[in-house]
A and B are shown apart, each in its own frame.
Chain A
Amino acid sequence: MNPAAPACLALRMVLAGRARARIAVLAVGCDVGALAFGAGRCPGWHMVALMGLALVACVVAATVSLRVQARRRELATLRALGMSKCALVLLLELEALWISGIGTLLGLLGSGAVERIAAGWQARPGDPAAFIGTASGMPLLASLCSIAGVTVLAALGPAVHAARQDLALALALLPAHQDG
């Protein structure tokens, strides 16, 4: 596989990212896990779900913004070496999707595990795993699509901003902290 293909490069950048990417994955995971666990259990759950999605959007937007800021020279180098603006936006969108995707997976697995433990404690062996949205009748796929859509929209602003940055200015920056 082409190691510079956006999907591959984005995953490698997320996996190599230090504090920010991991914190973002954990934050999305906790958020989605809590939503999944609480699905249909509390009144007005739909409002809670919307707030959860807004939280995912905030986490993703902040993470992508910070990662772009920390890697301005690196992104400018990619552009200067031939990556198109669209490909750069795609790269950052895919990074955001990997972050929210891994977070969502962890959250769902965590909520499933907690659900089983709780069912065991409360002696309700038949209680189905409360994946996100199942209690409200919304299929899992639609919920995942909602999270993906929110992620794409949240990452779009910082990604476009990164693609439009002045190359000469970004390349002249002093060495940036290669975090992310």
Chain B
Amino acid sequence: MKAIRQEVALLMLSGVHKHYRHERCDTHVHALCDIHLQVEAGEMLAVCGPSGHGKTTLLNLVGLLEPASEGNIVLDGIDVTRLGERERIALRERLIGPVFQSFTLIPVMTAQENVMLPLLLRRRLPRRDWLDARAYAAELLARLGLAAHVHHYPARLDAGQCQRVAIARALMTRPRLVVADEPTSRLDGSALRMVLDLFGACQREQGTSFVISTRDQRQLHRASRTLQLNEGRIGPRPADLPRRLPELRA
């Protein structure tokens, strides 16, 4: 179906619902109810809330991994709810850098190759672009404190290092929107600071927007806004209103 472009914020959700049907007991689970939110370019939205209250589902919808049951999701002016699967995949590749909660790396590829994977999968790179991509991947890894691990396989990295490789992989394509599901859950103080600094640099230099689910207070303090999810609904506070915390930023 042909995409309809609209001049709006980078990401806009209006009246989004998501429900799943349990095949065995024939019941419906309402994972998300009536979600309205808007993310501007260069903004970091932190989604927080108790476990099992819809954070990952929301990020899956925003990351175009699954469709919404009801409502509209507009990404970069394109109503994605009307797109076919192929167009959704193309849009995801073009705009979104995902960091999955499980941060799965490909075990037979080195850290650098894993970081380059989104580019390697998409097209045949000319030699010059290939060299540039290698250099950028190495730079991202260095900025995340993994300069010494560029040629290491995931089996030789600990969980925190694997998580940082997954973060570098999400940033490799210079996406407009990074959708990250608990991207700092395995990071200690210095690694967390490096990741947050890199996120901040991407926001400033490339205008990258971030939608991040987190329970980490340090990350919440760096966010432009926070969104509290409670049993699939936004609340208890009106979190979609801008709530800037400049005084708490590092």
Contact = CB atoms under 8 A, between A and B. Distances in A.
Interface residues of B, number: 27
Interface stretch (B72-80, B96-104, B213-221, B238-246): B96-104
Nearest to A14: B108
B121 A83 contact: yes
A7 to B, nearest CB: 13
A19 B213 CA distance: 37
Query: Interface centre among B92, B100, B104, by most A CB within 10 Å?
Result: B104
A82 B121 contact: yes
Contact of A9 (B89, B92, B98, B108): B108
Contacts of B65: 80, 167-168, 171
B101 A81 contact: no
B121 A178 contact: no
Interface stretch (B112-120, B142-150, B194-202): B112-120
A172 B101 contact: yes
Contacts, number: 70
B2 interface: no
Contacts of B113: 3-4
A106 to B, nearest CB: 21
B120 A168 contact: no
A165 to B, nearest CB: 12
Given A2-B124, A4-B117, A78 B106 contact: yes
Given A167-B66, A178-B107, A82 B89 contact: yes
A13 B108 contact: yes
Contacts of A15: 108
Contacts of B92: 80, 82
Contact of A74 (B93, B107, B121, B122): B107
B102 A16 contact: no
Contacts of B106: 9, 74, 77-78
Given A4-B113, A16-B107, A171 B100 contact: yes
B60 interface: yes
Interface in A56-81: 73-74, 76-78, 80-81
Given A9-B108, A167-B65, A2 B102 contact: no
B117 to A, nearest CB: 6
B89 A77 contact: no
Contacts of A77: 100, 104-106
B108 A168 contact: no
B184 interface: no
A172 B121 contact: no
A157 interface: no
Given A82-B93, A167-B66, A173 B121 contact: no
Contacts of B100: 77, 80, 171
Interface string A157-180: 000000000111001110100100
Contacts of A82: 89, 92-93, 118, 121-122
A78 B104 CA distance: 9
List the 3 closest A-B pairs by CB distance, nearest first.
Answer: A4-B120, A12-B108, A82-B121
Interface of A: 2-5, 9, 12-13, 15-16, 73-74, 76-78, 80-84, 87, 166-168, 171-173, 175, 178
15 contacts: A3-B109, A4-B116, A9-B106, A74-B107, A76-B104, A77-B105, A77-B106, A80-B98, A81-B169, A82-B121, A167-B65, A168-B60, A168-B65, A171-B65, A171-B100
